[in-house]
Amino acid sequence: MIPYGRQSIDDEDIAAVVAVLQGDWLTQGPHIESFEHALAERIHARHVVAFANGTAALHGAAAASRLGPTDTVCTSPLSFIASANCARYVGAKVTFADIDPKTLNLDPAKIPGDATGLVAVHYAGLPLDLRGLTSRPRVVIEDAAHALGATTPDGPVGNCAHSDATVFSFHPVKAITTGEGGAVSTNDDEIAERLLAFRNHGIVRKPARGAWAYEISELGFNYRLTDIQAALGTSQLAKLDRFIVARQRLAERYRKALADLPVELPPEPHPGFSHAYHLFPVQVDRRDQVFSAMRNTGIGVQIHYIPISSQPLYRAASPPVPNADSAFARLLSLPLHPGLTTDEQDQVIGALAASL
């Protein structure tokens, strides 16, 4: 089976992990801070706080941004459910803005006026243009789980040029991996301090009273990343540019090969933006039949995503999202990852052509 995504691990990554296993720290050690600093430098952010996974990072961003029961948080229906759940975790109400069919990102013009929070998803790795917000909610969190390595006219995704915080995921199919892992970037010192406490049971150290002293004033969680994961992340981060270039080259090869087929290609970035191509989602008629036919030939296509708004947890309170529903019925993610060979890609193209 040719998977739609997978990790790219080399001997340098393995050596980085082995070095931690042979050292003094497995968790809460120096490699976590090193990884955070390296990522902050890469994305031009003031702070980065690492988390156990992307969902934990979204929860932390919502809590540290002071979203709560009096807030209504808007997000895209075309995303993984964690984009909405993070608001529910802090007691906020969730609503959805339908997508723009030209970008597959949420349409800023459809954000409801009473939304006090926004989780702005960069679907498939294409940045949502946050400059287009006509009315900025009090809290803006970028869900950049797909978009590490993408850029906007204001710089790298994650620099929080138009947001309070940006969240990343380091799951194995993402741009870089720590196994499981996530991070939040922010330029706000107070949000960063709250994130550090939130991921560690709410603990705030009080060294003036002794090396052992701490206080817990707010509820926190054990959402810590390990030194093992952080060492892998630092090694992977050094290869991020190479990984993104490989994804972009494969995406361009798909575009040329599929240009004459009855396939709607993914939206391309606007001038000044670049695409991270976490996914290569095409749209086809008879999607379910095409999916089954390709899977039967060993091509691990996937569907991203069943709209969150259609899930029983959210269905009753969701506004109509016809654009997201229409896109979902036709979306099909083709295999795309840095290790995909041209021979494998040709197999994918041939199988797609035969199944249409």
Structure tokens at 200: 């560690």
Same domain for 116 and 54? yes
Check whether residue 43 and residue 179 sit in a common domain.
yes
Residue that is last in its domain, among 237, 252, 286 = 237
User: Domain with 27 in it: what CATH number?
Assistant: 3.40.640.10
Clarify whether residues 56 and 85 are in a common domain: yes
Instruction: Tell me what pLDDT residue 105 has.
Output: 98
Helix, strand or coil, per DSSP, at residue 99: strand
Q: What is the DSSP string of 214-242?
A: EEE-S---B-PPBHHHHHHHHHHHTTHHH
Q: What are phi and psi of 124, to 5 degrees?
A: 70, -5
Q: CA 338 to CA 335: how far, in whole Å?
A: 10
Do residues 119 and 203 share a domain? yes
Q: What residues make up the domain containing 349?
A: 241-355
Q: Verify that 246 and 230 share a domain, yes or no.
A: no
Domain containing 318 — which CATH number?
3.90.1150.10
Q: Which one of 179, 212, 237 terminates a domain?
A: 237
Give the confidence band of 245 by pLDDT, cuts at 50, 70, 90. very high
Query: pLDDT, tens digit, for every residue of 267-307?
Result: 999 999 999 999 999 999 999 999 999 999 999 999 999 99
Pair (41, 169) in one structural domain? yes
Burial of 209 (C-beta count, 10 Å sphere; 0-12/13-18/19+):
exposed
pLDDT in tens, 330-340: 999 999 999 99
For residues 201 and 52, membership in a common domain is answered with yes
The confidence band for 210, taking pLDDT boundaries of 50, 70 and 90, is: confident
pLDDT at 291: 98
Whether 215 and 321 share a structural domain:
no
| Same domain as 227, residue 265 | no
Query: What does the pLDDT look like over 131-175, one tens digit per residue?
Result: 978 889 999 999 999 999 999 999 999 999 999 999 999 999 999
- Give residue 341's Cα distance to chain centre: 24
- Among 237, 255, 287, the domain-final residue is 237
For residue 202 the two structure tokens come to 């709410």
Q: Is the pLDDT of residue 204 over 90?
A: no
On whether both 139 and 181 belong to a single domain, the answer is yes
Distance CA 340, CA 66 (A): 42
Number of domains in the chain: 2
Asked if residue 338 lies in contact with residue 6, where contact means CB atoms within 8 angstroms, the answer is no
User: Is the pLDDT reported for residue 208 higher than 90?
Assistant: no
Mean pLDDT of all residues in 41-56: 98
One domain for residues 224 and 259: no
